[in-house]
Amino acid sequence: MPPEIRRALGLDLAKNPMMLVEMRSGGVFLQAAEAMPVRDIPIETINEWIAEDERGAEAFWEKAGKA
């Protein structure tokens, strides 16, 4: 992201400069991110993420007609 945009949004002053960036409805959504060691994430949470990703992949391939 260009420095002038980071300054305009106040991101240059952020304690944690890591951001999640996501395109939504033709715009950009920024959210502060926090690093966390994988070992500190409960296995149930990881399994939920995997299941969600698999559902998303299935939906993608169904929509693409390649399921």
Residue range 45-56, pLDDT digits in tens: 999 999 999 999
Q: What is the DSSP string of 2-65?
A: -HHHHHHTTGGG-SS--EEEEEETTEEEEEE-----GGGS-HHHHHHHHHHHHHHHHHHHHHHT
- The pLDDT assigned to 67 comes to 52
DSSP secondary-structure letter at 66?
-
Predicted confidence (pLDDT) per residue in 14-61, tens digit: 777 788 888 888 888 888 787 888 899 999 999 999 999 999 999 999
Per-residue confidence (pLDDT) for residue 53, from 0 to 100: 95
Question: How many residues comprise the chain?
Answer: 67
Q: Tokens standing for 48?
A: 């939920």
